[in-house]
Structure formats: C-alpha cells, structure tokens
Amino acid sequence: MTYFVFALIVAAAAIYLYFSELRVAKSDALPVSEKRQRLLERQHSIRLSLKDLEYETSVGKMDQLTATRLQSELLEEWQAIEAEMPQLAETPAVQQPAACQSCNTPVVSAAARFCHVCGARLLQLLLFVLLVFFGAPSQTEALDIKVTVENGTAGSVHKPPLSVQLLKLEQGMQPVSAASTVGGVTKFTGLPEMTTGPYMVQTVYQGVTYSKVIAPNMASPVSVNLEIFESTDATAKLRARTLVELRRVEKDRLAGLMIVYFINSDRRTFRGGQSGLEFYLPPAATVAEASVSVGSGASNIQWLKVAAAKGSVPGQYYVAQSVKPGERILQVAFQMPYNESGTPFALRTVYPQDAGVQLIAEPQNLAITDGERELARVQDKNLGRGVISFPAAVTRLALNLKGGGVVQARAEESAEIEIKSPLELWQKLIFPVVAVLLFMVVAFLRLRRSAAA
C-alpha cells in the first residue's frame, strides 16, 4: 500500500511537469482578440495596483524605498504591454472589461465571479443566508420522552414509584424537569428539540445512581429504557485485578499509578458500603487524581474524575462509586517521597483477587526487595515490560525500594517512545531512486518535444 501511494504521488508530479509546458504553449497560441483582451485586463490591474501603492505610501503603511521598487516593476510591465499592443490588430470582437452592475467598477478578470470592490454577489449570498437564518421559525418542534424503568435483577418493569430526573447535557448537567413513575413509566412532554446538546434521564435506587443518555436527532416521541439493579455489599461474585506502576521522576520523588479492574458477575450492583469503593496506598503517598470508567468496550469507554476521600486508617481511601453488573476500572495517580538508600512500600488489596497484584517499577535498576530477597522482573508479552507478580492469596505487601538513577529512568523513557521504521535499507532507498529515474524520463521527453518543435 505504501508503494502504491508513493507511485501515485510521483506519477502526479511527473504528469504535471510534462503538461505544464503544453499549457504555456497553448497560452502563447491564443487568438489575437483574446490575447489583446487579457493584456487590457492586465493593464487595468496594474493601474489599480499603482493607485494602491500611492495610497499605502501616503498613510505610512509602506516605506518610500519599497514603494519605488514596486512602482518601477509595474511600470516596466506596463511598457512591455504597450510595446506588444501594436502587434495585435484591434478587432471588433475585443471588448472592454465588463463593469459591475452594482458599483459600475470595471471587472478585473472576465472569469471573476465577484466584484473586487463591493462584492456584489457575495453580498447577495450573505443577505440570503441572513434571511434564511433569521426568517426561520423561532419555535422548534416539541419533543416528547417516555421513560420506562426496568429492574435488571428481576428482569421486569419496576412497578413501585421512582423519581426520574431529566437533565440537559449542556455546559455540565442542567436540570430540566423531574417526575415520578406510575407503573414503571413516566413522560416528559413539550420539550425543546435537542439542538445544542443531548438529554439524559437519571434516577437513584438503593443509594446507587443510574443514568441513560438519549441519543440526539431522534424523532418524537422518544422511548427510553432506564435499567436499575438491586444493590448488595457482598463480594461473593466480585473479583478484582490490581496493577501498580512506579516510576522515579525526580531525585526524591516517585510517581505511581494504581489500576483496579473490577468484574461483577452478579445481577446486582456492588455498592461497596456507605462510603463506596475502598482502596489503599502507601501511607506516605498522596493522591494526585482518581477516575472511574464510564461505558464499556474499548471504543466506548470514557473516564469520570472522582474525589478520593481519606479513611480512618493511614493509606486508606474511598471513592463514592459502585460496580454495576459487568466491568469497571478504577485509576488512581499518586506520588510519594523517595530515598535511594531505601524507601518502604506497603500496599493492601481489599476485594477478592482473581489474579495477584502486578508491580511495574522503573528504571530497571530500581531494586524491589521483600525482606532480604530481591524480586526479579519477568517480561510480560501483553504489557511488553518487566513485571513482578504476586500470588492471588497475597493481600498485603511490605516491600522496600532502593536505587534507580533518574538519568537512567529518563533514558529508558526516551527508548520507549523511539519509533523504528519497519522498512529495510533497500526499501528506504527504492523510493528516491524511482523518483529520480521517473523525473529523468520526463525531462528527456520534454527535451525531445522541444527539439521536434
């Protein structure tokens, strides 16, 4: 595919070079009347340019030296045209440049579509657009939305009354209206159409918020199914995977990222208690940013920033979020002080793990020890990096970090983003060689054509 694209580019350039001389030859062979017309148009353009130079010099926009040089060039061109004009016999077919019907200014070019002074047709088009815009009806058609609340745990419509709020996703979430369901159904009628932003319906059930965005450009009435689930604090059907990445960014500081991947196989929403989802960081660490995934699928996933509240135990944090049936990801960026001679690193997992904690620490000479034993990194094919893995049964880590030069960390960071070409040397050379040969062929053909002429 790369070769094909390259061949198209080179071929287009070669064709342009080959036929460019033909265009010049054609222009030289124009009929006498048409050539005279073009010379007259050019004289008119030169006259306008001289007036512009005089004006810009008078108001100080152009210095006298530059103006004198440009005037000299224009006058030389004028004299060349004057010398050529007697050779072209004036014929009745030659017409003076047409004039604009609005301002009576001569049109510079016969092919011009707009007047260069008043922009007559452009003004007409602008007036037409303004009439269409302001003449359109100010009232848009009313939009009706029907919301049906379904209980995903029970697999049926949720009959008990439930308050549903309608929000407008425009510069945040703007409340529009609220209504209670009757038999699991409620309606919002007479709404403006979604011209600037979509609507979203939202409800709270058993302490968990459920939302559904209504796709724009849907015909009225719009039917929306808002799914809710029963809630639980039990972790029997909840599993988590934890990945922690550490990188030395400064002499006395480590930057870290903890990713907790939740899998909820229950038909109920895991609420995580009154405070939400719980996680632990080293006691000396501080949270820089926390976010949770919204949506599912690699192309549909989005991130919602959340606040991490400190717990009563050092290193304990909570985020007021839940895990609905399916998958959800929690990301926590943090920083912590570091000492090359030795820094303790303590970590604790809260929820049942279907795989043990994985730890990535960079640079590579940053040693990780568990007591007196140094832990070895194993190259992971999926991550493409050295990983230290722990058994799923290990829920508490008490490690020690040592060494790891900042210079080496930056060198490894640069090596990670280095882009290497997949082409071999001969493949790289074939592009310029083919281009040079093709242009040589074009030059040869042009020389032959000139000789024949």
**Domain positions in the chain:** 29-131, 143-228, 238-416, 423-453
Domain spanning 238-416, CATH architecture: Sandwich (2.60)
Q: What is the pLDDT of residue 265?
A: 94
Strand partners, 19: none
Tens of each residue's pLDDT in the chain, 453 residues: 555 556 667 666 666 655 554 444 444 445 666 777 888 888 888 888 888 888 787 777 777 778 788 888 888 888 888 888 777 755 444 445 556 666 666 655 544 555 655 555 544 544 554 454 455 444 456 889 999 999 999 999 999 999 999 988 877 778 889 999 999 999 999 888 776 678 889 999 998 999 888 877 778 889 999 999 999 999 999 999 999 999 887 888 999 999 999 999 999 999 987 889 999 999 999 999 999 988 655 455 778 899 999 999 999 999 999 999 999 999 999 999 999 889 999 999 999 998 889 999 888 888 999 988 999 999 888 777 889 999 999 999 999 998 876 544 444 444 444 445 555 666 667 767 777 787 788 777 777 777 765
CA distances from 374 to 98, 251, 293, 370 (A): 89, 22, 35, 6
Q: What is the pLDDT of residue 24?
A: 44
Neighbours of 341 (CB within 10 A): 6
Largest CA distance in the chain: 106
Backbone angles phi, psi at 351, to 5 degrees: -105, 160
pTM above 0.85, yes or no: no
In CATH, 143-228 is 2.60.40.1120: yes
Whether 144 and 222 have beta carbons less than 8 Å apart is answered as yes
Q: Is 282 exposed, middle or buried (0-12, 13-18, 19+ CB in 10 A)?
A: buried
Q: What is the pLDDT of residue 417?
A: 43
- The span from the CA of 239 to the CA of 102, in Å, is 77
At residue 354's C-alpha, the angle toward residues 387 and 211, to 5°, is: 105
Identify the CA nearest to 10 among candidates 423, 449, 446, 430: 430
Q: What is the pLDDT of residue 105?
A: 64
Q: What is the pLDDT of residue 280?
A: 95
Q: What is the pLDDT of residue 84?
A: 81
Q: Give me 63's structure tokens.
A: 């210095």
Domain 143-228 identical in fold to domain 238-416: yes
